[in-house]
Amino acid sequence: MGSSSLTESEVEGLLVSILNKLIAKPKLAAPDKLPEYAPTAEITEMEQQLAIMMQDASANIDAITRLIAGTAAAKYDACPYDNRDRTMKMLELLTAREPMTELDIDLAKQIIRAVHINKGIVTVELINGKILKGA
């Protein structure tokens, strides 16, 4: 093991520290910014095809209807998910809690998706995708 390795106790302490920061300021769990919608090349092509078909008086109405439904489905699939429901769940769990002196495994399981350790740095990914770094 190198000098950058952390013991289980040290990792646990860093997790307690990160969770206590969230308890003190639950809004730290909120995403930094909401993701933005960006149409894919496929969606742009579908929209162009639809515009052309809509201008053609002889276009097949069933084909237009299918293309409208397909375009709507593609747009829905391309919409970014902001994890608002997961963020709200975390805020509820963190609000009005007392700071921890030892790791609350149940709380950690409910709000942490993953813990990464690299060169002695602990990075926590919350269930809503927010990344927080420990020492």
Residue 135: the pLDDT is 57
Q: What's the chain's Rg over C-alpha atoms? A: 23
Sheet containing 112-118: which strands, arranged edge to edge? Answer: 112-118, 121-126, 131-133
pTM: 0.63
- Residue 88 DSSP SS3: helix
Residue 134: the pLDDT is 74
| Residue 10 backbone zone (phi > 0: left; psi -120 to 50: alpha; other: beta) | alpha
Single-letter residue type at 107: L
- Domain residues of the chain, as ranges? 8-33+81-133, 41-78
Low-confidence ranges of the chain (pLDDT < 70): 1-4, 34, 81-82, 135
